[in-house]
């Protein structure tokens, strides 16, 4: 029996994966129904699944397809495999209430991402702190422009890149984009809510 690979969780009233959905290594994607939380899964040849750019793109593409059905999924982290569909369902059942709450939290929402890139000036301690302050200022500027337009936010920094993730109502995406016009930022989305799953 082939191992089962997990792409995302969906609400029971969400549509099935379109027949043409292509998963990891060109594999098909199917739905596992359980009580209250369903899963989009596919077969893989072996465990563990090694991370490659191509597979990461394929994983994300399946999650994006789920989002495009109109019902917001909870994306799964890359690389989760189970010995069989039954094993996957057993784990789902164990975490059912948390996953169900997570799905309810993102229902009707999408994730938008703002990437701020401010070159960090390392020529002196003062210059460095000033460039950090500039970046924080830019982040505050984004947040104040978006006030009232976002449901939840998360922030992450990685060297010179600061990433702001926002949970936004599908109906508010146009306004969100409108409010960011003119700012020197990179905006990504709408995408699936990777950053807003249930707390671990």
φ, ψ of residue 161 in degrees (nearest 5)? -105, 125
The span of 90-98, 133-141, 166-174, 175-183 binding another protein (CB under 8 A) equals 90-98
Contact between 92 and another protein (CB under 8 A)?
A: yes
95 binds another protein (CB under 8 A): yes
CA distances (Å), origin 181, targets 42, 79, 137, 185, 187: 40, 37, 17, 9, 10
Selected from 1, 13, 26, 77, the binder of another protein by CB under 8 A is 77
Candidates 16, 71, 79, 183; binder of another protein (CB under 8 A) is: 79
Instruction: Give the chain's radius of gyration (CA, Å).
Output: 19
Among 12, 28, 35, 52, binds another protein (CB under 8 A): 52
Residue (27 or 130) nearer to another protein, CB: 27
Question: Per CB under 8 A, does 40 bind another protein?
Answer: no
User: Which of 48, 108, 133, 178 contacts another protein by CB under 8 A?
Assistant: 48
Number of Cβ atoms within 10 Å of the Cβ of 127: 12
State the number of binding residues for another protein (CB under 8 A).
44
Which of 81, 138, 142, 168 contacts another protein by CB under 8 A? Answer: 81
Of residues 100, 69, 91, the one with CA closest to residue 6: 91
Distance in angstroms (rounded) separating the CA atoms of residues 167 and 102: 13
Q: Which of the ranges 24-32, 74-82, 120-128, 169-177 carries the binding residues for another protein, by CB under 8 A?
A: 74-82
Residue 66 CB-density burial (10 A; 0-12 exposed, 13-18 middle, 19+ buried): buried
Torsion sign, CA atoms 13, 8, 168, 182? negative
Query: What does the DSSP 8-state code read for residue 200?
Result: -
Structural tokens at position 173: 């995406």
- Asked if 158 is part of the footprint of another protein (rule: CB under 8 A), the reply reads yes
Q: Pairing between strand 4-10 and 38-43? A: antiparallel
Residues near another protein (CB under 8 A) are 6, 8-9, 39, 47-53, 56-57, 59-60, 74-82, 88, 91-92, 95, 99, 102, 113, 115, 117, 158-159, 161, 163, 186, 188, 194-195, 197-198, 200
């Amino acid at each position: 029996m082939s191992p089962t690979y997990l792409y995302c969780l969906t609400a029971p009233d969400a549509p099935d994966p379109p027949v043409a959905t292509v998963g990891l290594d060109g594999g098909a994607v199917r739905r596992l129904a359980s009580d209250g939380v369903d899963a989009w899964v596919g077969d893989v040849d072996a465990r563990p699944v090694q991370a490659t750019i191509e597979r990461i793109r394929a994983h994300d593409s399946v999650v994006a397809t789920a989002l495009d059905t109109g019902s917001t999924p909870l994306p799964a982290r890359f690389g989760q495999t189970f010995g069989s569909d039954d094993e996957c369902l057993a784990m789902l059942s164990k975490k059912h209430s948390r996953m169900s709450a997570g799905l309810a939290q993102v229902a009707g929402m999408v994730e938008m991402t703002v990437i701020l890139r401010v070159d960090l000036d390392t020529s002196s301690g003062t210059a460095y702190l000033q460039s950090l302050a500039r970046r924080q200022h830019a982040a505050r500027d984004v947040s104040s422009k978006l006030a009232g337009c976002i449901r939840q936010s998360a922030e992450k920094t990685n060297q010179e890149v600061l990433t702001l993730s926002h949970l936004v109502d599908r109906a508010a995406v146009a306004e969100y984009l409108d409010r960011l016009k003119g700012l020197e930022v990179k905006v990504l989305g709408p995408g699936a809510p990777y950053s807003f799953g249930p707390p671990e």
